[in-house]
Amino acid sequence: SLRRDERGTAYVLLKLNKSGKVLSYKLENGTNRRLLDEEAIAVVIRCDPMPAFPREIEHDEMELRLPIAFNIR
C-alpha cells in the first residue's frame, strides 16, 4: 500500500458490551482499497477487548461508528 500511495478512511460499525468486548463489527464504508479495508477490520480484532465503559455510562451495550484513517507520512 505504501508503494502505491494508498490512503483513505474506513468506517467500521461495531457493537461493544460494557466490559469492552466487541460483540460484532462490519465495514460500513470502505476506502475502495482492499488491503486498507482488510486492515481496518484487523485493527478492531486486535483491539478486542477495548476499555470498559466508565461507570457513568449505564448502557449494557453501545454501537459506535469508528473512523480508521490511513495516511502516508
User: Tens-of-pLDDT digits for all 73 residues of the chain?
Assistant: 555 667 899 999 999 999 999 999 999 999 999 999 999 999 999 999 999 999 999 999 999 999 999 997 6
pLDDT at residue 16 in the model: 98
Q: What are phi and psi of 50, to 5 degrees?
A: -90, 175
CA distances in angstroms from 52 to 15, 17, 22, 29, 73, listed in the order given = 13, 8, 11, 26, 32
Determine the pLDDT at residue 4. 63
Look at residue 3 in the predicted model and tell me its pLDDT.
Answer: 59
Predicted TM-score (pTM) of this structure = 0.85
pLDDT at 43: 97
